Amino acid sequence: MSEVKLPVFTSCDPFTWFVRVEAHFRSKKVVRSQTKSDCILQVLPESVCTRIAAFLRRNPTDIDYEDLKAEILKKYSLTSSERVQKVLQVICQPLGDRPASSAWDEISALLTLPETDDDGNLKQIDLQRELWLLHLPEPVRAGLYDSSSLTTEELLKKADELQISNRAAIQRGKNTPFIASIISNYLESNSEESHDIDFQTSSPSASAAVSRRQFSNQRNRNDSYRRFSKQHRNNRHGYLTPSGYCNYHAKFGNNAFSCVLGCSWEKDSKNEVGATPMAPKKM
């Protein structure tokens, strides 16, 4: 048998590559399955052998040619969904200087599967089914991974069930933040009641945690009250003058009947410290 020189493997169109390879086998009178497989493995790139390594390990000394061909086609052939997407890309692109017949040939090649039916004819993609699958939401389409093995009636029934489940999941996702906010607001408004825990049945660590939380909440409330009280007094009862006295002492002296927080009147040694404020004299 003369040497068989096979063409370089092309991963973009493995089906056409096998057509050319089998033409070489016929011209060289190669009919034995193991011989065909050996010739194929000699010309395959390292990257391809790595992808089919699991298949090669199963029976490395007796590899059937048809099984090897099917494995390579499975790894490198486009799926039906990918083929339809490429067809849509071809349709969306303007022809330009390209002949109209070339676009027809490209679409025909994409819609033809590298599989044969019982009569030996190449299978064609069910374009209506594939376009319908592309129109479905991603979670529903993912659930129909076995669509090729289902009848049209089974496919539609399963798709409707998946769509109902998907809508319910989306609705639950929308309600989760709303429910969480309701629970959070309820816990905050009833924080004091939630502290009434049966310490006899609780662990010491839980009791200590509750006590620390109660002390922290009370301290925060006290700090907020002091800040509010200071601001309230400053806003309602007067202000401090540049001399450091409140406007009441600056105007009425010891006769001032009120004071403002931060006033230094009583700290000034010139004034009568601790003097009882007197009502201002009527003018």
For 81-128, write each residue's pLDDT tens digit.
888 888 888 888 888 888 888 888 888 888 887 777 777 788 888 888
Higher pLDDT, 11 or 25: 25
pLDDT the model gives residue 21: 92
Look at residue 202 and tell me whether its pLDDT is greater than 70: no
- Mean pLDDT, the chain, rounded, equals 75
pLDDT the model gives residue 266: 74
Please report, for residues 196, 197, 201, 209, 241, the alpha-carbon distance to residue 204 in angstroms, rounded to integers and kept in the order given.
15, 12, 9, 9, 55
Higher pLDDT, 78 or 160: 160
Q: Give the pLDDT mean for 75-82.
A: 82
pLDDT band at residue 25 under the 50/70/90 scheme:
very high
Look at residue 74 and tell me whether its pLDDT is greater than 80: yes
Sign, CA dihedral 199-201-204-207, equals: negative
CA 243 to chain centre: 63
- The whole model's pTM is what? 0.45
Q: Are 274 and 266 in contact (CB under 8 A)?
A: yes
